[in-house]
Amino acid sequence: MSRLKLPTIAPSEITPEEVWRSRRVWLKHAGMGAVAAGAGAFGVPSWAQDARSVLAATPNPNFRLPDEATSEKDITSYNNYYEFGTGKADPFENAHKLQVRPWTVSVEGEVARPRTFDIDELLKLAPMEERVYRMRCVEAWSMVIPWSGYSLSHLLKAVEPTSKAKFVEFTTVLQKENMPGTRSRIIDWPYVEGLRMDEAMHPLSMLVFGVYGKQLPSQNGAPMRLAVPWKYGFKSGKSIVRIRLLENMPLTSWVKIAPHEYGFYANVNPDVPHPRWSQATERRIGGGFFAPRVDTLMYNGYGEQVASLYAGLDLRENY
Ligand SMILES: Nc1nc2c(c(=O)[nH]1)N[C@H]1C(S)=C(S)[C@@H](COP(=O)(O)O)O[C@H]1N2
Ligand SMILES: [Mo]
């Protein structure tokens, strides 16, 4: 049970919220997730009570999967969003502090028409589609998520990339006073990610505004995040505020922290282990603690669509 972190501070110092959290996390690890989720008695709103607005989206049959979708509860309560803490339940508990309005996204750099977009313009820039994507974290767990959004290429084309644009950098929001996790220095905030231009223009690269037919909850990256399903989850930055087109490869957050563990490409690859986690298999969230692990697929199963982008690239060197 190495995942279970027991509190090391005296019980008298623990605030009610921490008591609630450690109890809930403990219950979850003890396989009593359903009991834990009904924690309304502790005064914390549960996922079921949230009243996010509906976001109309048309299912796109080209992006359908045979896999059963992960539950809305798991998708919105088991998250990585380090700005709100490194625990899996921290974003669920803390992200309501994120201010998501007003919100603008500037698109700049190697483009003929740099522009700052209001989030309401971005919501209307292209038809909203629902696509079910398999998402794989480098920590060897995965989910199947019905996202609402459209291809990132729509936005990039709108600003007219110049011939010098070879990479795209995504900077995510930093609201220090609302983000308790940013007091820790694990990351040199703000969180920055990037793609090669051809990866960013690939139709699978998606700007996401919603999940399960509703606007994104903050813990999933409201009001706009990226979803790049053939890459490890850390490439899919949440709550994006700036997109910069560049001639050179940007220095991204995880490459900066641990270049031997995290590469710029970060394509899902069962044959290249991370120093701390084998990438051969994964745990599908929601299957229960004792569910069998599933084999991880090259490019997370999207090889038919994306393998040609990497022809001639050594994937052991470029992990
Ligand atoms: N800004 C920001 N974006 C982020 C992260 C983060 O810590 N901060 N974590 C990444 C990681 S490691 C993963 S696995 C996915 C998780 O997305 P989800 O919680 O919506 O499933 O978000 C990615 N985007
Ligand atoms: Mo991740």
Q: Check pLDDT > 60 for residue 213.
A: yes
Q: Return d(Cα 128, Cα 201) in angstroms, integer.
A: 17
Looking at the domain assignment, is residue 103 inside a domain?
yes
Q: Is 70 in the pocket of ligand 1 (CB under 6 A)?
A: no
Looking at the domain assignment, is residue 4 inside a domain?
no
Q: Tell me the C-alpha to C-alpha distance, in Å, between residue 45 and each of 32, 42, 49, 88, 281.
A: 18, 9, 6, 17, 34
Closest residue to atom 11 of ligand 1, CA basis: 234
pLDDT of residue 51: 65
The structural domain count of the chain equals 1
Mind listing the pLDDT tens digit for each residue in 167-187? 999 999 999 999 999 999 999
Mind listing the pLDDT tens digit for each residue in 245-303? 999 999 999 999 999 999 999 999 999 999 999 999 999 999 888 889 999 999 999 99
Nearest listed ligand to the Cα of residue 81: 1
Q: Check pLDDT > 90 for residue 22.
A: no
Length of the chain: 319
Closest residue to atom 10 of ligand 1, CA basis: 234
Q: Is 238 in the pocket of ligand 1 (CB under 6 A)?
A: yes
Q: Residue 69 carries which side chain, given as an amino acid letter?
A: A
Best CA proximity match to 232, nearest among 199, 261, 266, 269: 266
Looking at the domain assignment, is residue 288 inside a domain?
yes
Looking at the domain assignment, is residue 2 inside a domain?
no
Looking at the domain assignment, is residue 8 inside a domain?
no
Q: Is 262 in the pocket of ligand 1 (CB under 6 A)?
A: no
User: What pTM value is reported for the model?
Assistant: 0.86
**145 or 18, which is more confident:** 145
Mind listing the pLDDT tens digit for each residue in 35-50? 334 333 344 444 444 5
Looking at the domain assignment, is residue 242 inside a domain?
yes
Looking at the domain assignment, is residue 127 inside a domain?
yes
Task: Provide the CATH number for the domain around residue 304.
Answer: 3.90.420.10
Q: Residue 300 carries which side chain, given as an amino acid letter?
A: N
Q: Virtual CA dihedral for 5, 46, 84, 100, nearest 10 degrees?
A: 170
Sheet containing strand 115-118, strands side by side: 115-118, 104-109, 240-246, 167-172, 192-196
| Chain center to CA of 144 | 12
Q: Check pLDDT > 90 for residue 157.
A: yes
Looking at the domain assignment, is residue 7 inside a domain?
no
Residue 214's domain spans which residues?
16-59+67-310
Residue 16: strand pairing partners = none
Q: Are 255 and 193 in contact (CB under 8 A)?
A: no
Mean pLDDT for 203-226 is 98
Q: Is 230 in the pocket of ligand 1 (CB under 6 A)?
A: no
Mind listing the pLDDT tens digit for each residue in 68-81? 999 999 999 999 99
Helix (H) or strand (E) holding 225: strand 225-227
Q: What is the mean pLDDT of the chain?
A: 88
Q: Is 142 in the pocket of ligand 1 (CB under 6 A)?
A: no
Q: Return d(Cα 142, Cα 286) in angstroms, integer.
A: 10
